[in-house]
Amino acid sequence: MKRLISQVVFLVIAAAVFGVARNEVAPGGIDWVGDWEQRDSVIAAVQDNPEALPPSAQPDDPPFINLPQAVEKFEAGAIFIDAREPEEYAAGHIEGAYRLPFERFDEFWPFVEPEIYDDKDKDFVTYCSGAECELSLFLARHLRSLGYKNVFIFFGGWTQWQDHGGPVASGEPDSQQQS
């Protein structure tokens, strides 16, 4: 029993020492106490539907819209932009959505920008997988910073769209050459 305890304590201390050291020294370290609780309260204040929002939502973010609002935008001809990975886009996406993976933005933006540049004043709707995915939020913030004023975030995303049975498509986008 004593051996068990001493071995466990050894492993725990070793992990703590290396964990602290790596976090302090190596790049990409994080704060010891995150602002998660603050995020929770911000989220609760931002919208009536707190569980449908990403953890990092801020009060000055582009507006979040729910499924009925997204359907309304879709029918009104808003431009939908898919922030997920290309493989996920190929497997299925909202009909007519552009492919613009946020994590590979610089790579795909040159193919998307010429398509939407003249429509800057239109409504844009970003989405990703759904709850707990934040790519749509990051993409919306970025698009707004590029001068697209009317960006909305459909945070229910692909999951809710599918459940709802909205129009979908799969495969590569028609107009974008990049694969």
Helix extents (H) in 26-119: 36-46, 67-75, 86-91, 105-116
Report the nearest approach of other proteins to the CB of residue 55 (Å).
6
Alpha-carbon span 58 to 56, nearest angstrom: 6
Phi, psi of 107 (to 5 degrees): -75, -35
In the complex, least distance from residue 137 CB atom to other proteins, rounded to whole angstroms: 13
Q: Is 84 exposed, middle or buried (0-12, 13-18, 19+ CB in 10 A)?
A: buried
Q: Nearer Cβ to other proteins, position 66 or 119?
A: 66
Among 3, 25, 121, 174, binds other proteins (CB under 8 A): 3
Render 20-32 in DSSP notation, one character per residue. HHHHHHSTT---S
Under rule CB under 8 A, residue 170 binds other proteins: no
**Candidates 13-21, 57-65, 137-145, 170-178 — which segment interacts with other proteins by CB under 8 A?**
13-21
Q: Which residues form the interface with other proteins (CB under 8 A)?
A: 1, 3-4, 6-8, 10-12, 14-16, 18-20, 22-23, 28-40, 55, 84-85, 87-88, 103, 129-133, 159
